[in-house]
A and B are shown apart, each in its own frame.
Chain A
Amino acid sequence: MEKPRVGVFICECGGNISDVVDVKKVVKTASEWENVLVARHYTYMCSKPGVELIKQSIKKRELNRIVIACCTPKMHRKMFERNVGEEGINPAFLEIVNVREQCSWVHHGDNEGATQKAIDLIRGAVKKVENAVPLHPGKMPVKPAVLVIGGGIAGITAALRVAEAGIKVYLVEKEPTIGGHMAKYAKVFPTLDCAQCILTPKMGDVAENPNIELFTLAEVKAVEGVPGDFKVKIKLKPRGVDVEKCVGCGACNRVCPVETVSDFDEGLGKRKAIYIPFPQAVPSAYVIDFDSCTKCGKCAEKCPRKAINLEDTEKEIEINVGAIIVATGFKLFDLSDYGEYKYGMHPNVITALQMERLMNVAGPTSGAIVRPSDGGEVKKIGYILCAGSRDTNKGKPYCSRVCCLYATKQALMMREFMEGLDIWIHYIDLRAAGRRYEEFYKNAQIEGVKYVRGKVSEIIPDGDQLIVRAEDTMLGRPIENKYDLVVLCPPIVPSPDITKLAEILKIPLDEDGFVLEKHPKLDPVATKREGIFACGVITGPKDIQTSVSEAEGAAAKAINFLIQKEKIIEPNKAYLAVPEKCDACGECIEVCPTEAISIASEKVEINEILCNGCGACIPACPKEALDLKGLSEKQLMAEIEGILTGSESEIKILAFVENEIAYTALDLTGVARLSYPSSIRVIPVPSTSRLKLKHILYAFAKGADGIMFLEAPEHEGPFGKAHAIAEERIENYKFDIEDYDVDSIRLWFSKVYVPDWRKLVKVFETFDRMIKDEGPIEQEVRENILKQLSQETDT
C-alpha cells in the first residue's frame, strides 16, 4: 500500500476549543510526527474557508489520510466525508477526533490536561488511520413485494395501501376468510357504524385488487433470506372447494348431514361441515371443515359447479418479498383458571366476543338475546370489566384498552332494541381515553346503562340466574346483583402461535408476548428487524381506529423501504479474515445477535447484509480468524498504542465507549459543560463486546492505568444481545487480568442510558480517584504483560 501522507487539522471552534486546548502546541507537536505532512489550526474548520483549507492541503501535499480534531463526529462527519471524498479520500481514511464535547467543554480550568489529552487522542487517530484500508459500501437489489400476515382490519388496510402504491402484496390469512374480529361485530364504537357496512367494501377491494394475491387457510412456515429479499414458504390447508368455481349457492350446505360447533359464532351456534363463515366472506366460497367432514360425498354430488374436491390436499408455495407486515391481531385470554367467574361452568356466563355474536342479527339466535342455558328471556345483564386485565395474580398486568368501550357499546345497542333491559357494568376505572369516547360513555349513562365501580369478586349460580358479588366503592359497601346473563371482558392477548411466527421471522416479542416495537414511542410500527413491520393489536391492545392508523403507517414504512430499489450495505462488517484458521467450531455463531453467521463448506460465512457490525463475534473466535472492517485488529491496536505512547499524563484512563447511546450521553455531558478529569480518553467502538482480553492487556502494557467500558443497555442499544455479552465478557476479564498482576479494580463497566449523562461525571470522578489511589501500574508489570503477549502471538 502507498505510504501514508497524513494531514492533521484542528478546529478552534471560535474559542470553544482553543480557549482550553492550546491548538498551537497541538499543531507543533503533530507536525513532528512521522507521516504527518500538514498540521494546521483554523477558527472554523466546518466553514467554507476551513473546508477549502483541507481540500487545498490534500491537493498541494498529496495527502491520502485526514485527521480532523473538532466537535463530535455526530455533528459534521458526513459533511467532511463528502468534501474529502471530492478530493478522492475514501471515508475509511478520514478520522474525526472529538476535542470539543469530550475535551475542551469538559476540562475547562485544566488547559494543560486538556491539551495533553487532545494531543494523545489525535496521535491515536493518526495511528488508526495509517492502518486503515479503503472501504466501499455494497448494493443489493430489493424485491418489490410485500407479505402481509393476518387479514383483520389492520392487515386488510395495510395490504390495500401497499397495493395502491403499485406494489405486489401477498396477504396470508389462517382462517377461510379475511375480516378478522371486526367481521363478528354488528356495530362499532364510538360511532355505532354498522361494522359490515364499513368492512365488507374493503374486503371486496382486497378480492378485486390485481396487485393483491390472497391466501386463506394459509400459514407462514419458514422465512429465509435477508431484509429486501425474503424467501417465504407458505403452507395452504386444503379447502375442499375450488374458490374459482364456487358461486356460493349453498346447495352443498343444505345436504351436508354433519353438524358441528360454529367457531365463527364463538361456539354459541352450529354449522355444517361444509359452510361459509358469513355471507360476505372473502373469498366468497364455501369451505370444508375436514376435521368433522365424514366424506359422505353428498355435497359433491349436489354441487352444480363441480367445485368440490373431497380429496383436496395440503400444498406448499414459496414467494419472494422485500418486506413483511405482521398483523395477526389477538385472541381473548382463557378464563378457566378463574373459578370465581364460573366461566365454562355455567352456560349463562359468556365472553364479550360471544355476546357480539349473540346480539348480531346474523348470529346464532338472529339477534335475540336469550339465556344460553334454557333459551329463557333475559331481563338483566351484568358486565364484568377487567376480568383478568390489570391483574398480576392470575391474569395480565396491562389494561386491554377497549373493554370499557365495547361493553358500553353492547349495552347501548341492546337497550336500543330491547326496551326495559337492565344492564349493569362493573368496572375498576372507566377508561374512555380517545376521541369522542367520554361523550360515548356519558351518553350511555343518560340512556340508563348503570355503572358500578368495584371489581366483581365472585359469581354465584342461582338456577338459571347468577348472583354477582362486588363492592360499590363509591359507597364503600358490598352489593349483590342478580343477572340472567353475565358477560366477561377478558384480557386481549396476542394471536395464537405468535411465538412460533416470531421465531420464524426472527423478531422479538415483549414480556406480554406482543410484537416488540423498534421504539415504543418513535418507531411504533417497525419491529426490531429491518424490513419487518407490524400493526394492529399484535403490537398491543387497541381499537379499530388506532389499528387502521398503524396499518397506514406500516404500509408507508414498507413502501419507503422498497422504493429505494437498491439497498446500500454499509461496509463496516465482520468477515473471515484468515480463512485457513477457521475450523468451524461455531463459537461466533452463538454470540451473533442477528444470526448472520452460518457454516458453509466447513468454514464460517458471514452474511454482510445481516451482519450489523457490532463486533461481538470477533473476541468469540478462539482462533482469531475474524476481523471487523472499519475497526480492524490492526487499527484498534494502533489506536490504543497511539493514544498511550508518548503521553505525558501522570494517570491514563482509556474509556471504550459504545458508539450510539453511551457516546451520545457523553456528548451531552459536554454540551452541558459539566466537568470531569482529563485522564479519561475515549475510544469509540460499535459495542464493547468488540474487545478482546488482548486489547485490554495491550493497553495496560502500553501505559493505561485503568480501563472503562461504557455500554448501551440491551433493549435500548442497536445491537441487542451484543450489549449484554459485553457486560459478561468484561466481568470475566476482571478475573483474567489478575493473572497478569493487574488488580481487577482497574477495569470498570457501566451500562449507560442517554439520560444518564449527568451521572457520568460521578462515574468518571470515582474511577479517576480509585486509579489515582492505586497509582500507576509498575513498569515491570507492563513489560511482563508485553512479553507474555508476544509469546502468545508466537505460538
Chain B
Amino acid sequence: MDSTKPLIKIDEETSDFIAEILEKGAQIFPKEELERILTCIQCGTCYGSCPSGRITAYHVRVIMRKAQLGLKEEVLKDENLWNCTTCYTCQERCPREVETTDTIRLIRNMAFEAGYVKKPHLIVSRNFIETGHSIPLRDEDKEKRKRVGVSEIPPTTLTYPEALKEVQTLVEATGFKEKVLKLLEEG
C-alpha cells in the first residue's frame, strides 16, 4: 500500500490487526490485559508522555489508532516503531490501562518477521549473535573497568564460552540468526 495516500478504505485495505496482535501476545500476556487496546480513546496521554516522541517522528497514539483501524502494513513499515525506548512511561499513565509498550514490542516482533527492521538494529543483533553482547567490549571499556577495580573482561559470555554456546543455540533454534543475517545481506 502506498503510505502517502491519505484515503483509508475500510476492509478493502484493512484487516483485523488487533486479533493478530492478541494472538501474537497470547503466550506472554493475559488476553484481558492486551485487548484493552480496543478501549483506547485517543486521549494522547501516551504520546504526551513519550520521551522519544518529543525528538523523533515516533507517535505512539497514532500507532494505537492505526492498529484499531487495522492498518497493519502501514504500522509494520513505520520505521519510527524502532524509536520507542521501552521506558514504559506511557503504559504507566494510560487511563484505559492499554498495554502500550508491550503492544509496541509485539508489533516490532511482527515487523521483524515481516522483514521491516532498521539497519542499526540488525547490526546490534549481529553483535549479539556473534558475542552474546549487543554492544561490543571496546579497549576503553576495559580500561575503565580496570580503573574501578573490576575484572577487565566481564563475567558473561566473554568469560564463559559455554554460555555463549547456549546463546548461539537459542538464536539458531528460533531462526533469529538466519533471519538477521539474511536481512543484512539484502541490505
- Spell out A's residues near B (CB within 8 Å): 380, 424, 430, 442, 445-446, 448, 450, 453, 472, 474-475, 477-482
Q: A472-B69, A475-B62, A475-B65 are in contact. Are A445 and B39 (CB under 8 A)?
A: yes
Nearest-CB distance from A703 to chain B (Å)?
A: 68
What CA separation (Å) do A380 and B68 show in the bound complex? Answer: 17
Residue on B nearest A480 in the bound complex, by CB: B9
User: Quick one: which of B35, B42, B66, B96 contacts A453, CB cutoff 8 A?
Assistant: B42
Contact with A along B61-105 (1 / 0, CB 8 A): 110011011000000000000000000000000001000000000
Complex CA gap A472/B13 in Å reads 15
A479-B10 in contact (CB<8A):
yes
CB of B26 within 8 Å of the partner chain: no
Contact present for A448 and B38 (CB under 8 Å):
yes
A453-B42, A472-B69, A475-B62 known; A446 vs B35 contact (CB < 8 Å): yes
Instruction: Give Cα A424–Cα B11 distance, bound, in whole angstroms.
Output: 12
Query: Complex formed: what's the CA distance from A481 to B38 in Å?
Result: 19
A499 CB to closest chain B CB, in angstroms?
Answer: 41
Per-position binary interface string of chain B over residues 1-43, scored 1 when its CB falls under 8 Å from any chain A CB and 0 otherwise? 0000011111100000000000000000000000110110110
Question: What chain B residues lie within 8 Å of A482 (beta carbons)?
Answer: 10-11
Cα distance, A284 to B7, chains bound together (Å): 55
B66 contacts A475, C-beta separation under 8 Å: yes
Residues of B within 8 A of A (CB): 6-11, 35-36, 38-39, 41-42, 61-62, 65-66, 68-69, 96
**Complex alpha-carbon distance, A474 and B68, angstroms:** 11
CB-CB under 8 A from A481, the residues of chain B are 10-11
Can you list 27 A-B contacts (CB < 8 A)? Answer: A380-B11, A424-B10, A430-B41, A442-B39, A445-B39, A446-B35, A446-B38, A448-B38, A450-B68, A472-B65, A474-B42, A474-B61, A474-B62, A474-B65, A475-B66, A477-B7, A478-B7, A479-B7, A479-B8, A479-B9, A479-B10, A480-B7, A480-B8, A480-B9, A480-B10, A481-B11, A482-B10
Tell whether, in the assembled complex, residue B8 and residue A477 are in contact, meaning their CB atoms are under 8 Å apart.
Answer: yes
Contacts of B36 in A (CB 8 A): 446
Q: Beyond A442-B39, A453-B42, A474-B61, list 8 extra A-B contacts (CB 8 Å).
A: A380-B11, A430-B41, A446-B35, A474-B65, A475-B65, A479-B7, A479-B9, A479-B69
CA distance A475 to B74 in the complex (A): 12
CA distance A472 to B69 in the complex (A): 10
Nearest chain A CB to B95 CB, angstrom units: 11
Q: With A472-B65, A475-B62, A475-B66 in contact, is A446–B39 under 8 Å at CB?
A: yes
Residues of chain A with a CB closer than 8 A to B66's CB: 475
How many angstroms between the C-alpha atoms of A330 and B68 in the bound complex? 36
Q: Which of A380, A442, A446, A477 contacts B6 (CB 8 A)?
A: A477
Given A442-B96, A450-B68, also A472-B8 (CB < 8 A): yes
- Chain A's closest residue to B70 (CB) is A450
Residues of A within 8 Å of B39, CB to CB, are: 442, 445-446
The distance from the CB of B136 to the nearest CB of chain A, in whole angstroms, is 41
Residues of the B chain whose Cβ atoms lie less than 8 Å from the Cβ of A480: 7-10
Distance in Å: Cβ of B58 to nearest Cβ of chain A? 15
Q: How far is the CA of A453 from the CA of B39 in the complex (A)?
A: 14
Query: What A residues does B42 contact at CB under 8 A?
Result: 453, 474
User: Do A478 and B11 touch across chains, with their CB atoms under 8 A apart?
Assistant: no
Residues of B within 8 A of A479 (CB): 7-10, 69
Of listed A430, A450, A453, A479, residue having the most chain B CB within 10 A: A479
A477–B74 alpha-carbon span in the complex (Å)? 13
In whole Å, how far is B180's beta carbon from the nearest beta carbon of chain A?
Answer: 32
Report how far A380 CA is from B11 CA in the complex, Å. 11
List residues of chain B with CB within 8 A of the CB of A472: 8, 65, 69
Given known pairs A477-B7, A479-B7, the reply for A445 and B69 (CB within 8 Å) is: no
Cα separation A479 to B8 with both chains bound (whole Å): 5
Contacts of B11 in A (CB 8 A): 380, 481-482
A430 to B65, CA, bound (A): 16
Q: In the complex, A450 Cα to B17 Cα: how many Å?
A: 13
With the chains together, A196 CA to B112 CA distance in Å? 55
Q: Within the assembled complex, what's the spacing in Å between the Cα atoms of A477 and B14?
A: 14
Alpha-carbon separation in the docked complex, A661 to B140 (Å):
84
Bound Cα distance A472, B7 (Å): 10
| Contacting pair A445 B6 (CB below 8 A) | no
A478/B6 in contact, CB under 8 A:
yes
Give the CA-CA distance A430 to B10 in the complex, in Å: 21
State the CA gap A424–B61 with chains docked (Å). Answer: 20
